[in-house]
Amino acid sequence: RGSKCILSGIQPTGIPHLGNYIGAIKKWVDLQDAGTHETILLSIVDLHAITVPQEREIIRENIVGMAACLLACGVNPSKTILFQQSTISQHTELAWILSCLCTMPRLECLPQWKEKSQKYQEPGVGLFIYPILQAADILLYKATEVPVGEDQVHHLELARHLAKAFNRKYGVIFPRPVEIIGEVNRIKSLRDPNSKMSKSEANPMGRIELTDSSDEIYEKIKKSVTDFTPHISYDSDQRPGVSNLIQIHAALTGQSCEQIVQESAGLDKVAYKSRLAEIVNETLAPIKTETARLLQDKHYISTVMEQGRDKANMIASKTYSQVKQLVGF
Ligand code: ADP
Ligand code: NA
């Protein structure tokens, strides 16, 4: 297949925050609507989520919640194949075959492993080998492009290495997947503008979740950490807090940071914060309403996910039967 196929995964580990929306979901929807790719797949990667401890009821709820949220953000199931990773068994089957082509030292030197394994006294094997599962996620659909954050570049390298290793040993079937790295647009925590907004930050005041009420949005932005300079200016080194707010503003309205600074010349920080809260609130209000509506219609969500599974399965089973044939099964 010479066609372009793009794939991305998102972990069902909680409600997406504004950083996820700006850095990943919104970009995905723009890409989907641009119609430049023949096949586009978005996977809710539950198998990746269990590399760290998860509660049954919570992960179950998060899978449905993530699906609802993605649909509410504009993921269109007639353009994007939206599916739950664990419903396609070939992900783990292909991962096994790839793991037999991968050495331990190659995984040991991955920066994510070095960082994540530090957090546990006895890190699990899943946490060690999940980059191989990621490679399988990509290769199973012969994806040619994978949107990722900078932190995932090494994993894409691994996927390319494994594609090449398989092609060399068994026969050429996998295209070389390349990363698409969006312009660096890291939204920072509202409590600590030197670290990124993240689900894993302990203090929930640092992030705006897509389902936060308007009161919570105002409260979080009002209390966001800035500095002692009253006016609004953009300087990400000297004024990381204010600059982060301007970046959020720019991402949501499509304006440049300079434009925003100009139009906010008459405002002090207090007034600017409430202006921004208004904008965030306007963006999230329809998403919240739609997420809530979809969560009342679980039947629709499961229909969408079943259709996604069937479409994903058509591609996955075709690739995997080629793989088996070449391996000699
Ligand atoms: P988190 O750190 O909140 O757990 P993930 O690692 O699950 O987020 O990331 C999901 C997607 O959202 C990735 O594509 C990632 O690049 C993007 N993303 C996460 N945090 C941010 C952020 N603060 N700013 C911009 N994009 C982000
Ligand atoms: Na993360």
For the stretch 13-38, pLDDT in tens is: 988 999 999 999 999 999 999 988 89
| 269 carries an active-site annotation | no
- The response to whether residue 116 sits with its C-beta less than 6 Å from ligand 1 reads no
Using DSSP's 3-state secondary structure scheme, residue 235 falls into coil
The backbone torsions φ and ψ at residue 233, rounded to the nearest 5 degrees and listed phi first, read -150, 155
Distance 45 CA to ligand 1 centre (A): 14
Spatial distance between the Cα atoms of 162 and 140, rounded to a whole number of angstroms: 12
Regarding the beta carbon of 14 and ligand 1, being less than 6 Å apart is answered no
DSSP 8-state secondary structure symbol assigned to residue 187? P
Q: Is 188 a catalytic residue?
A: no
Give all domains of the chain, ordered by start, each with its CATH number. Answer: 5-185+298-327 (3.40.50.620), 204-293 (1.10.240.10)
2 band by pLDDT with thresholds 50, 70 and 90: low
Q: For ligand 1, is residue 248 a contact (CB within 6 Å)?
A: no
Distance from the alpha carbon of residue 189 to the mean position of ligand 2, in angstroms: 13
Neighbours of 74 (CB within 10 A): 17
Closest ligand 1 atom number to CA of residue 11: 7
Question: Among residues of the chain, what percentage have pLDDT more than 90?
Answer: 91
Rounded Cα distance between 284 and 252, Å, is 10
Query: 196 CB under 6 A from ligand 1?
Result: yes
79 CB within 6 A, ligand 1: no
Is the distance from the beta carbon of residue 190 to the nearest atom of ligand 1 less than 6 Å?
no
Q: What is the ipTM of this complex?
A: 0.94
pLDDT in tens, 89-137: 999 999 999 999 999 999 999 999 999 899 899 999 999 999 999 999 9
Catalytic residue among 4, 79, 116, 311: 116
pLDDT in tens, 53-62: 999 999 999 9
What's the pTM value of the predicted model, to 2 decimals? 0.93
220 in active site: no
Best of 13, 20, 184, 194 for a ligand 1 pocket test (most atoms within 8 Å of beta carbon) = 20
- Closest ligand to 19 CA? 1
Q: Atom 26 of ligand 1 has which residue's CA nearest to it?
A: 23
Average pLDDT, the chain: 95
Pick from 248, 259, 242, 258: nearest CA to 281: 248
d(CA 198, CA 179): 22
Q: Cα separation of 127 and 50, whole Å?
A: 9
Provide the sign of the torsion angle of the four alpha carbons 286, 288, 293, 299, taken in this order: positive
Query: Are 7 and 143 contacting, i.e. CB atoms less than 8 angstroms apart?
Result: yes
Higher pLDDT, 86 or 182: 86
What is the residue whose two structure tokens read 């297949």?
1
Residue with tokens 């969006």: 182
- 1 pLDDT band (50/70/90 cuts)? very low
Sequence-ordered list of residues with C-beta below 8 angstroms from that of 2, at least 6 positions apart, any chain: none
Q: Judge contact between 188 and 197, C-beta under 8 A.
A: yes
Amino acid identity, position 66: M
SS3 246: helix
Nearest in space to 179 (alpha carbons), one of 140, 151, 153? 153
Above 60 in pLDDT, residue 293?
yes
